[in-house]
Structure 1
Amino acid sequence: MRPALRPGDWLLVRLGAAVRPGDVVVARRPHGLIVKRAFRLTGDGWWLESDNQSAPGRRDSWDFGAVPEGDVLGRVVLRYWPRPALRFPAPPA
């Protein structure tokens, strides 16, 4: 999910929240949980995609198809670790 998220980021997930296209979601797959962007709802479930399609080892709906709605557990609402860097504007010259 780079550049939006990196491996090891801690996320706050709202379980059971309504999902809309463009949301980052957590879904259950046979090998464990995945974090992907919900692209569209199809007749078979949610089509989930990685933000970086050229990332090594990328796995998403292009590889395993749509994910059943019941396997999309919730919507990511916040990345809380590592804390985003605070950036202050430079003082006026």
Structure 2
Amino acid sequence: MRRELATWGLAVVRGRSMRPTLRDGDRLLVRHGAAPRPGDLVVVRLPDGVVAVKRATMRRDGGWWVERDNPDEGVDSWQVGAIPEADVLAVVRLRVWPLRRPG
């Protein structure tokens, strides 16, 4: 597996597939080129070309099995299969906006 030099970027969450962890409009600091680990939130390109945030759960079939946190919304590997390594675009490092207090 060849990784390009890791760079930082921002991503904006669209939709409700990652609720309650993330909400529509959340801004995320992401690391392009970082190697994901099981449990990480990742930015992926789905087979239809849509770029989305999902949870990497395991390596499978030469790629990553990714899932949504909200079982009632969105698309994940249960519908489209494993996401090829090249289509795992970045690893989420933290939410930068909005700042939320616990509770």
Q: Same fold (TM over 0.5)?
A: yes
- Residue 90 of structure 1 corresponds to none
- Residue 76 of structure 2 corresponds to 60
The structure-2 alpha-carbon separation of the partners of 1:86 and 1:47, relative to structure 1 and needing over 3 Å to count, comes to closer
**TM-score, normalised with respect to structure 2:** 0.75
Q: Which has the larger radius of gyration?
A: 1
Aligned residues: 85
The structure-2 alpha-carbon separation of the partners of 1:36 and 1:86, relative to structure 1 and needing over 3 Å to count, comes to closer
Shift, 1:81, TM fit: 1.0
- Residue 53 of structure 2 corresponds to 35
The runs of at least 4 consecutive aligned structure 1 residues that moved more than 4 Å come to none
Shift, 1:83, TM fit: 1.4
Structure 2 unaligned residues grouped into runs of 5+: 1-17
Matched, 1:15 2:25: no
Q: Letter of the 1:34 partner, please give it.
A: A
Structure showing greater relative contact order (alpha-carbon pairs closer than 8 Å, 6 or more residues apart): 1
Measured on the aligned residues, the alpha-carbon RMSD in Å equals 1.6
2:65 is paired with a residue whose SS is strand
Q: Distance in 1 between the 2:57 and 2:102 partners?
A: 30
